A and B are shown apart, each in its own frame.
Chain A
């Protein structure tokens, strides 16, 4: 009995320790955003009063507002475009499926094997030739349509009752009307899951904008915070404020929609 009790205590100690280690870097980041660099370096773990000053330093040396806005605009554009294009396709592949479409779907799935590193050079050359460097269009285009999202929407369309479609057709509703007025409202949770994945990927995307966003006007958050530590002396308070701002949207999404978030991760292999 006592042996078992020790086991229980150890279990909780282990879980609390791991939980602490998991959140500590983020807590430290948020606290450091409110402290002076000297305090951060000397190990201060209490919130300070330098948040405003850190922000002033950040805003005067880096175009934080612009980067936030660019990131936001790119991510929202990517999300909307992706959801429309991929959900249309996923729905089409399932509802109107025949041999030809099933074959095409299998072909498209092969694209998931292609690592970004393998195609970034041709993509960069294409985008350059089209004169799209530094634009949202270039940022969004390669990831608007992904086999993964099409597949996700195809799976969800499988649960869309066929007799609802038949009934709507008898009522004289157009095929596109059925999709917009019936499928979309019913499949809201799939859209939320897909939206979270797409928004996060776009918001966090680093390598692609690193290559194509070469002008100062097109800077995005991952590039900005990556630049923050490039200097010789690091102002930790300022850097941590920048990083905090960059993770804020995704952490908020995570805390509000944790289950959809987990669903999104899991659906990547189903």
Chain B
């Protein structure tokens, strides 16, 4: 009996050895930095010469017009882009879910392919496609839809539209994969019964598909919100936050404050802490939703 206990204890100890390296790394590279960021947000100064400043950074944050601009940009993307993208992904997923659909594999591969590109790469491809002398302007003028090339990155709203188009291109297939997986769990007989009752395609979509996928739709909206709050690569490479900060994202503003202007680590940390709180609240909601599933 005593021998068994020590064996059990020995295994328990070995178990700790398995998990210790990974756990230490997470403490050092996630938990310690977030505590540091919190402390940093109460300090002010340039570079590494920092002094305690109380709530000064948080007061400054309230009257920062650039920060306000970046937050409202992110919310513009959120409200317009996420809705377009998720609707499109839902429609595509429900079309692809039909087992009798021809070229199903082909459609799926094509729609899913944008996920294989890095954010910087596709941002540069879109920047080139939508350049003043780019292919999109060439095509639109050749088709006589517009008279003169559009300066996409030169106007606040065309620049935002460009970001929205690009984000939608990159992430629609990604969200579609979630919906496809969710649809596989829906019993086909429900659709067959609805078909017998004479329900058309649209009715089946709005009365069966959307309600049954509601938890996954919520999940994807939270993920998209989360991703949009942390938007960086695209705005940096597609529009560089311009024109006049019309597409500046919060992450890019933090980056500018820390690494492009004279480094204001304390103030940047205060902003990043605000992002942290927003993301944390969303993740908590996401976890609860995940639990329900």
Which of the four size classes fits the interface of chain B? 35 or more
With A and B bound together, what is the CA distance between A91 and B40 in angstroms? 36
A141 beta carbon closer than 8 Å to chain B: yes
- A121-137 residues with Cβ-Cβ distance < 8 A to B are 121-126
Which of B12, B33, B107, B111 contacts A123, CB < 8 Å?
B33
Interface residue stretch chosen among A47-55, A185-193, A204-212: A204-212
Q: When A and B form their complex, what is the total count of cross-chain residue pairs whose Cβ atoms lie within 8 Å?
A: 267
Q: How distant is the Cα of A20 from the Cα of B103 in the complex, in angstroms?
A: 13
B138 with A92: CB separation less than 8 A? no
- Interface status of A172 (Cβ within 8 A of chain B): no
The residue in A14, A98, A211, A269 that gathers the most chain B C-beta atoms within 10 A of its C-beta is: A269
Answer yes or no: B161 CB below 8 A from chain A CBs. no
User: How many residues of chain A are within 8 Å of chain B by beta carbon?
Assistant: 91
| Given A115-B279, A121-B37; A239-B113 close (CB under 8 Å) | no
Residues on B with C-beta less than 8 A from A23 are 110, 113
Q: A74 an interface residue at 8 Å Cβ cutoff?
A: no
- Chain A residues 1 to 37 lying within 8 A of chain B, measured CB to CB, are 7, 11-12, 14-15, 18-23, 25-26, 28-29, 32
| Chain A residues whose C-beta falls within 8 Å of the C-beta of B15 in the assembled complex | 92, 95-98, 101
Q: Contact: A118 with B276, CB < 8 Å?
A: yes
Q: Which segment, of B54-62, B186-194, B206-214, B267-275, faces chain A?
A: B267-275
In the complex, what residues of B have CB within 8 A of residue A120's CB? Answer: 254-255, 258, 272
Across the interface, B29 reaches (CB within 8 A) one of A32, A112, A123, A211, namely: A123
In contact, B290 and A269 (Cβ under 8 angstroms): yes
Shortest CB-to-CB span from B256 to chain A, Å, is: 12
Q: Is the CB of A22 within 8 A of B19?
A: no
Give the docked Cα–Cα distance between A7 and B113 (Å).
26
User: Which among B110, B178, B259, B268 is the interface contact of A19 at CB below 8 angstroms?
Assistant: B110
Alpha-carbon distance between A18 and B106 when the two chains are bound, in angstroms: 12
* Segment 169-205 of A: residues with Cβ below 8 Å from B: 175-176, 179, 200, 203-204
**B46 close to A (CB within 8 Å):** no
In the bound complex, do residue B276 and residue A115 qualify as a contact, i.e. CB atoms below 8 Å apart?
yes
Contact across chains for A88 and B21 when beta carbons are under 8 A apart? yes
Instruction: Please indicate the chain A residues that have their CB under 8 angstroms from the CB of B138 in the complex.
Output: 41-43
Q: Mark B257-293, 1 if CB is under 8 A from A, else 0.
A: 0110000010011001101100110011010001000
User: Which one of A15, A112, A121 lies within 8 Å of B265 (CB-CB)?
Assistant: A121
Contact B19 A19 (CB under 8 A): no
Other-chain residue from B22, B102, B226, B284 in contact with A89 (beta carbon distance below 8 A) = B22
Quote the shortest CB–CB distance from A206 to chain B (angstroms): 5
Q: Which residue of A lies closest to B253 (CB)?
A: A117
B30 near A29: Cβ-Cβ < 8 Å:
no
| Shortest beta-carbon distance from A54 to chain B in Å | 14
B184 to chain A, nearest CB (A): 11
Is there contact, CB below 8 Å, between A239 and B128? yes
The reply to whether B254 and A108 form a contact with Cβ atoms under 8 Å apart is no
The distance in angstroms between the C-alpha atoms of A253 and B128, with both chains bound, is 25
> Which of B126, B134, B272 is most buried by chain A, counting CB atoms within 10 A of its CB?
B272
Q: How far is the CA of A124 from the CA of B14 in the complex (A)?
A: 34
- With A96-B14, A254-B115 given, is the CB distance from A25 to B19 under 8 Å? no
Q: Is B229 at the interface (CB under 8 A from chain A)?
A: yes
Instruction: For B272, list chain A residues within 8 Å (CB).
Output: 115, 117-121
A206 adjacent to B19 (CB under 8 Å)? no
CB < 8 Å: which of B114, B116, B121, B139 contacts A253? B116
Q: Are the C-beta atoms of A239 and B33 separated by less than 8 Å?
A: no
CB distance from A122 to the nearest CB of B (A): 4
Q: Shortest Cβ distance from B29 into chain A, in angstroms?
A: 4
Query: In the bound complex, do residue A247 and residue B121 qualify as a contact, i.e. CB atoms below 8 Å apart?
Result: yes
A69 at the interface (CB under 8 A from B): no
Pairs A–B under 8 Å by Cβ, sample size 21: A23-B113, A25-B129, A28-B135, A91-B18, A96-B14, A108-B22, A108-B23, A111-B30, A113-B283, A117-B230, A117-B272, A118-B37, A200-B118, A206-B118, A206-B233, A207-B232, A225-B124, A246-B121, A247-B116, A254-B112, A265-B177
In the complex, besides A18-B88, A25-B126, 14 extra interface pairs with C-beta distance below 8 angstroms are: A15-B96, A19-B106, A26-B114, A85-B21, A97-B15, A117-B250, A119-B33, A142-B29, A147-B26, A206-B232, A229-B237, A247-B121, A250-B117, A254-B116
Interface residues of A (CB under 8 A from B): 7, 11-12, 14-15, 18-23, 25-26, 28-29, 32, 40-43, 85-86, 88-89, 91-93, 95-98, 101, 104, 108, 111-126, 141-147, 150, 175-176, 179, 200, 203-204, 206-207, 210-211, 222, 225-226, 228-229, 234, 236, 239-240, 243, 246-247, 250-251, 253-255, 258, 261-262, 265-266, 269
In the A-B complex, the 10 residue pairs with the smallest Cβ-Cβ separation, listed nearest first, are: A96-B15, A92-B18, A204-B118, A89-B22, A145-B25, A19-B110, A254-B116, A122-B36, A119-B33, A122-B33
Measured CB to CB, the residues of B under 8 A from A are 11-12, 14-19, 21-23, 25-26, 29-34, 36-37, 40, 48, 88, 92, 95-96, 102-103, 106-107, 109-122, 124-129, 131, 133-135, 138-139, 142, 169, 172-174, 177-178, 181, 201, 219, 223, 226, 229-230, 232-233, 236-237, 250-251, 254-255, 258-259, 265, 268-269, 272-273, 275-276, 279-280, 283-284, 286, 290
